């Protein structure tokens, strides 16, 4: 094959083609002019956002839905620093992503040049890896490594910072997607000895539970999980990041554990004699007080990242490997135990402690839980939900029935307000045939409200449901419970009229303040080509229950609200 000289910016687009990238999320600027010039007549699509943070969240939503790395372009300096929250968010939730930033020209680096920011330095703690390209000759291999690292092992964002002059330099372009990186060799197959110990533990367990997380979704392990749970009759608890890995409407599903988890899930973890933890990292929001977490249980921990095993909780049977491969291996060797009595106990708890539907105190006002349930009921089974952060996020996790993996997108690790709406845009681009709903709060939505332009201009057909309580509700709830109702700066005085905002951007806006109006508005939105925004005026002081106070044992639950 005859080699020919290729310019840096052309190399990048060739690499994207070879990686199967169909769309890039970004925002241009001086340092990436050559790259955007190359993009001008390339078939790869580009979604022009209105703030770089939104580009990362949109790429994140796209990546979660497709399983492929999301790709982001941004310029040097402020363009690059605007990415940081999005990158940190993707890092915490292990989302595959490749970010390409422009940098000032090589001979300006280190001089505090115009729009210079040390973005590789800034993002070391929040990327899986990053590169500053110093030589055009290195560019093809760095791009290949970036995609390889982002999309293998424990997924994560990789940033490639490219000085402006390198986009215009030329070198021979050879692209080899099969990378061999001496310091990066993920383990995929579980250790045989540990797997047989796990098989025995499952056979002997009287009160086993499966506790699954985002790792199940990233590795595509849902089918294996379902087969294992059902063959062995073991109930399933899913973390916020794991929702959808097991269908939310099956009998064996106990819900989410931890701070706002179901009573049954928390009781089951506390009483279990065996926890099969798969693709989870025992976050403090799940374990509550560590010393009293799962004291009676033997714990099997399956995870691709060895550093997660034993980090927070002592593990009896550690299995490093790809969650899907290990579950399939377990399934082949499975000898089910007898869990009938345990299930009887579990179903009794479930009956006794259903999810509270709201306090009903402020008679007649619209309950956020009702809104979420109606959204779930009326949107159909093939829906993707992207949430923001706060009470509405927890109510969504509790009340929206999530049936499939990659259909519940939420900022789990970082808890980033402003994530939901751009992520929903990315999700719709990834799955044009699915219904997409962004469930947001009146606070969170304003953090990326400018993306209404992006959504309207690109005719993104989605529904934005604002659970408008006029407060930074989750913070207000903590002030209510732990700070004697001193609502310091959590009331959203001065909120805009969201319906008018939607209309000003060219979207449809609806409002609902009662059950009847809510149902009608949702029905209308489902039949309207979006973007449609619904402003749900809900009970301003409704709290999320059940609740476990931070650093308390997870079986010390404030049940709260009425019990229907």
Partner 1 sequence: MKHVLAVLVEDKPGALTRISGLFSRRGFNIENIAVGETLTPGISRMTITVEGSELLIEQVVKQLHKLINVIRVSNLSTEPSVMRELMLIKVNAEVGNRSDIQQIVETFRGKVVDVSPDSMVVEVTGNEDKMEAIKLLLQHFGIKEIVRTGKIALLRGSKVTRESLNGSRWQ
Ligand X SMILES: Cc1ncc(C[n+]2csc(CCOP(=O)(O)OP(=O)(O)O)c2C)c(N)n1
Footprint on this chain of partner 1 (rule: CB under 8 A): 120-121, 124-125, 128-129, 132, 134, 137-138, 141-142, 145, 149, 180-184, 305-307, 310-311
- β-pairing verdict for 45-48 and 97-103: unpaired
H or E element at residue 464? strand 463-468
Using CB under 6 A, which residues numbered 422 to 461 contact ligand X? Answer: 441-444
164 catalytic residue (yes or no): yes
Cis peptide before 546 (omega within 30 of 0): yes
Q: What is the DSSP string of 184-221?
A: -----SPPHHHHHHHHHHHHH-SSEEEEE-HHHHHTT-
Active site residue 517: no
> Cα–Cα distance between 48 and 453 in angstroms, integer?
10
Please identify which residue in 186, 220, 415, 560 interacts with ligand X, judged by CB under 6 A: 415
On whether the CB atoms of residues 311 and 206 are closer than 8 A, the answer is no
- Told to check if 416 binds ligand X by CB under 6 A, we report yes
From 87-95, 267-275, 411-419, 452-460, give the range in contact with ligand X by CB under 6 A.
411-419
Element (H, E) at 301: strand 298-303
Question: Tokens 């560019």 identify what position?
Answer: 139
How many chain residues are in contact with ligand X, going by CB under 6 A? 20
Using CB under 6 A, which of 240, 315, 474, 512 touches ligand X?
474
Minimum gap (Å) between residue 228 Cβ and partner 1 = 27
* Partner whose footprint covers residue 142, from partner 1, ligand X, none (CB < 5 to 8 Å by kind): partner 1
Dist CA 98 CA 100 (whole Å) = 7
Rg (the chain; Cα; Å): 24
389 binds, options partner 1, ligand X, none, Cβ within 5 to 8 A by partner type: ligand X
Pick the catalytic residue: 108, 115, 233, 345? 115
Segment contacting ligand X by CB under 6 A, of 109-117, 239-247, 388-396, 422-430: 388-396
Name the nearest CA neighbour of 60 among 216, 123, 52. 52
Which one of 160-168, 256-264, 425-433, 471-479 is the stretch in contact with ligand X (CB under 6 A)? 471-479
Q: Which of partner 1, ligand X, none binds 311 (CB below 5-8 Å, type-dependent)?
A: partner 1
Q: Binding ligand X by CB under 6 A: which of 60, 388, 535, 542?
A: 388
- Which of positions 510-539 make contact with ligand X (CB under 6 A)? none
Nearer to ligand X, 270 or 444 (CB): 444
* Residue 500 falls in the annotated catalytic set: no
Number of Cβ within 10 Å of residue 18's Cβ equals 15
Q: Which of 420, 377, 375 is nearest to 534 (CA)?
A: 375
How far apart CA 389 and CA 375 sit, in angstroms, is 18
175 contact partners, CB below 8 Å, separation of at least 6: 14, 15, 18, 140, 143, 144
Q: Which is nearer to partner 1, 142 or 265 (CB)?
A: 142
**Total length of the chain:** 564
Closer to ligand X by Cβ: residue 77 or 420: 420
Q: Is there a catalytic annotation at residue 503?
A: no
Binding residue (CB under 6 A) for ligand X from 362, 475, 513, 526: 475
Of 100, 472, 534, 548, the one binding ligand X (CB under 6 A) is 472
* Residue 324 falls in the annotated catalytic set: no
Residues that bind ligand X (CB under 6 A): 388-392, 415-418, 441-444, 467, 469, 471-475
Catalytic residue positions? 52, 114-115, 164, 474
């Amino acid at each position: 094959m005859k080699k020919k000289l290729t310019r840096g910016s052309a190399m990048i687009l060739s690499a994207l083609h070879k990686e199967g990238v169909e769309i890039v999320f970004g925002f241009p600027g001086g340092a990436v002019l050559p790259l955007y010039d190359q993009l001008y007549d390339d078939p790869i699509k580009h979604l022009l956002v209105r703030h770089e943070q939104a580009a990362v969240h949109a790429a994140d939503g796209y990546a979660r839905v497709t399983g492929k790395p999301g790709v982001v372009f941004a310029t040097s300096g402020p363009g690059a620093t605007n990415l940081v929250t999005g990158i940190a968010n993707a890092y915490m939730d292990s989302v595959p992503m490749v970010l390409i930033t422009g940098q000032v020209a090589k001979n300006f680096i280190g001089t505090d040049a115009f729009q210079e920011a040390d973005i590789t330095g800034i993002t070391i703690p929040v990327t899986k890896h990053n590169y500053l390209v110093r030589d055009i000759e290195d560019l093809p291999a760095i791009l290949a490594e970036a995609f390889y690292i982002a999309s293998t092992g424990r997924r994560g964002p990789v940033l490639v910072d490219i000085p402006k002059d390198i986009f215009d330099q030329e070198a021979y372009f050879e692209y080899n997607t099969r990378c061999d990186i001496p310091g990066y060799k993920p383990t995929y197959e579980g250790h045989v000895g540990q797997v047989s110990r796990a098989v025995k533990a499952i056979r002997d367990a009287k009160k086993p539970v499966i506790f699954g997380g985002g790792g199940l979704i990233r590795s595509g392990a849902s089918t294996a999980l379902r087969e294992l749970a059902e063959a062995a009759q073991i109930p399933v608890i899913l973390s916020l990041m794991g929702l959808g890995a097991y269908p939310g409407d099956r009998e064996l599903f106990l819900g989410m554990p931890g701070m706002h988890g179901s009573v049954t899930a928390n009781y089951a973890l506390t009483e279990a004699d065996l926890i099969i933890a798969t693709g989870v990292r025992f976050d403090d929001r799940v374990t509550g007080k560590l010393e009293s977490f799962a004291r009676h249980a033997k714990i099997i921990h399956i995870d691709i990242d060895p550093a997660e095993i034993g980090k927070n909780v002592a593990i009896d049977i550690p299995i490093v490997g790809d969650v899907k491969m290990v579950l399939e291996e377990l399934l082949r060797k499975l000898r089910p135990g007898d869990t009938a009595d345990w299930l009887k106990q579990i179903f009794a708890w479930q009956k006794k402690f259903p999810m509270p539907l709201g306090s009903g105190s402020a008679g007649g006002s619209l309950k956020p839980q009702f809104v979420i349930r109606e959204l779930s009921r009326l949107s159909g089974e093939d829906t993707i939900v992207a949430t923001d952060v706060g009470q509405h996020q927890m109510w969504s996790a509790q009340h929206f029935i999530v049936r499939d993996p990659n259909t519940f997108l939420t900022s789990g690790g970082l808890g980033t307000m402003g994530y939901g709406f751009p992520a929903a845009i990315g999700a719709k681009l990834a799955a044009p045939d699915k219904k997409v709903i962004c469930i947001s709060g009146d606070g969170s939505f304003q953090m990326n409200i400018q993306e209404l332009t992006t959504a309207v201009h690109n005719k993104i057909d989605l529904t934005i449901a604002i659970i408008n309580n006029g407060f930074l509700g989750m913070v207000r709830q903590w002030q209510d419970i732990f700070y004697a109702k001193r609502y310091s700066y959590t009331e959203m005085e001065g909120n805009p009229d969201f319906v008018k905002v939607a209309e000003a951007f060219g979207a449809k806006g609806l409002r609902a303040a009662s059950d009847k109006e809510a149902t009608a508005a949702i029905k209308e939105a489902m039949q309207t080509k979006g973007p449609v925004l619904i402003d749900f005026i809900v009970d301003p002081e409704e709290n999320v229950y059940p609740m476990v106070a931070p650093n308390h044992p997870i079986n010390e639950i404030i049940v709260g609200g009425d019990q229907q």
